[in-house]
Amino acid sequence: MKNALFPIFCLSAATALVCSAENYSFDHGPYLQELTDDGVTIVFTTSGKGYSWVEIREKSAGEQAPGESYWTSKDGLKEADNTLHAIRIPDLKPNTAYQYKLHSKEITKFAPYRVTFGEEIASPWYDFKTFDPQATTCSVIAMSDVHDHTDQLKDLLKFGDYNTCDAIFYVGDMLSNSFEKNWAFKSYIDASTEMFAKNKPFIFVRGNHETRGPVARMIPAYTPRTNGEIYGTQRIGNTFFVFLDTGEDKPNDHREYFGLVDFDTYRTRQAKWLSKVVETPEYKQAACRIVFSHFPISEIEQYNSKLPDGQSHGMKDASDKMLKILNNANVDLMVAGHTHRFAYHEPVPGKRNFPILVGSNKSAVRLDIENGTIKAQAYDIENKPLLETTLGRREGSK
């Protein structure tokens, strides 16, 4: 038996979608997070509190082969009596097909000297494949600002031929506000699970709308990272991705936040992290480097620094703290959102040394990358092309 050390969070869930027992059931997921060449996190929820684990085996072992069991533990305690389960599977082989199966036991009573279990349930087997660290090609779809329009999300995925992609990137404001515990599932996670996320990952970049509402502090639990942060990095083959979290758009003391945010400090800390990332051998040796950020990180005059009610503050603060770092980091492309207006901006030497593709609230972009060359195809919700361009390696990128 094996265990995976990984943070887990407690949320309640209501609507049962997959029933393996009359009452207790898996109701959201499973979906893959932070898939790499040697690991993956599997996230799902149960209709009530329980203890859960994941069974995994190489696909080549055959349908009758048993799997190894993984669970989450911290400080010597297995995670239990919770409804949201995030289980990290480490030490996998690169470029290898695997199968996984969910298991869970309902907990009907959890006392110091007595634990009573109810139903035990299991899911079917699902497939996934770890990334190949030697791969020279990579394909992804990126979209932002969907704001709960699930049908629109599905159409944009279909138009981009999502089945042929390695991963899907959601670049913020997938939700409008975080009022209900299950709203992230209703907005985009359930649709993603239905279409692809049981077998390939999506990567979530937080937007400013995901910071709002009573459930905002729980949203990162749905898309956990092993670094414990919302921002992070990912390498797929020889392409290196950076995911920034630009926070809210207005000043910390704005009346909408009631004194409960601290994003200026957060962006300062993140900029220090970014300055270290771009100096790592893994970043420098990548054939291609793409940055995803909900706010465009750019010369601020490009976007109108006189937006009403302080709405440019977050974009300016993020740009003031991170643009210089990115300008010296041989970035090949930035993909952003937030403005609800599609745009493509060529580099401005001396001000912004990389191109920016800004998605609208009704568009997506497919990126097909091969040995540092990026073919970008942007399209709208009617499948009309908005941009087709090919970007070569940035000068000095090797």
Amino acid at 260: L
Domain ranges, ordered by start, for the chain: 4-129, 137-391
Cα–chain-centroid distance for residue 265? 23
How many CA atoms, within 13 angstroms, populate the side-chain half-sphere of residue 394? 23
**SS3 for 321?**
helix
Q: Given this chain, do its domains 4-129 and 137-391 carry the same CATH topology?
A: no
**Which are the contacts of 153, defined by CB distance < 8 A and separation ≥ 6?**
143, 146, 174, 188, 191, 192
**Which are the contacts of 54, defined by CB distance < 8 A and separation ≥ 6?**
42, 69, 70, 71, 87, 89, 100, 101, 102, 103
269 vs 265: CA distance, rounded Å: 6
How do beta strands 288-292 and 239-243 pair? parallel
Neighbours of 223 (CB within 10 A): 22
184 vs 196: CA distance, rounded Å: 16
- The predicted model gives 205-216 an average pLDDT of 91
Residue 20 confidence class, pLDDT cut points 50, 70, 90: very low
61 vs 105: CA distance, rounded Å: 26
β partners of residue 234: 241
For the CA atoms of the chain, what is the radius of gyration? 21
Rounded to 5 degrees, φ, ψ at 227 are -80, -5
225 vs 231: CA distance, rounded Å: 8
**Which are the contacts of 76, defined by CB distance < 8 A and separation ≥ 6?**
none
Neighbours of 301 (CB within 10 A): 9
Place of tokens 């690169």: 94
pLDDT in tens, 52-63: 999 999 999 999
pLDDT in tens, 214-272: 889 988 999 999 999 999 999 999 999 999 999 999 999 999 899 999 999 999 999 99
Amino acid at 180: E
Residue 10 pLDDT: 37
Angle, alpha carbons 40-97-87 (nearest 5°)? 20
97-101, 136-140, 349-353: segment of lowest average pLDDT: 349-353
Place of tokens 């048993």: 66
Amino acid at 287: A
Please, what's the b/e burial string for 268-282 (b: 16 or more CB within 10 A of its CB; e: otherwise)?
A: eebbeebbebbeeee
pTM for the model: 0.91
CATH of domain 137-391: 3.60.21.10
Residue 289 pLDDT: 98
What is the architecture, at CATH level 2, of domain 4-129? Answer: Sandwich (2.60)
> Do 276 and 329 form a contact (C-beta atoms < 8 A)?
no
Determine the straight-line distance between the first and last CA of the chain, rounded to whole angstroms: 43
Q: Residue 235, class by beta-carbon neighbours within 10 Å (0-12 exposed, 13-18 middle, 19+ buried)?
A: middle
Give the pair of three-digit tokens for residue 113.
Answer: 């000297």
Place of tokens 């990567």: 203
Residue 179 pLDDT: 72
Q: Nearest CA to 78 among 113, 47, 104, 45?
A: 104
Residue 371 pLDDT: 92
Res. 324: pLDDT tops 50: yes
Place of tokens 């090949």: 332
Angle, alpha carbons 62-67-70 (nearest 5°)? 150
Q: Nearest CA to 315 among 337, 328, 336, 300?
A: 300
H or E element, residue 33: strand 26-33
- Percent of the residues in the chain that have a pLDDT greater than 90, as a whole number: 84
Residue 301 confidence class, pLDDT cut points 50, 70, 90: low
Residue 2 pLDDT: 55
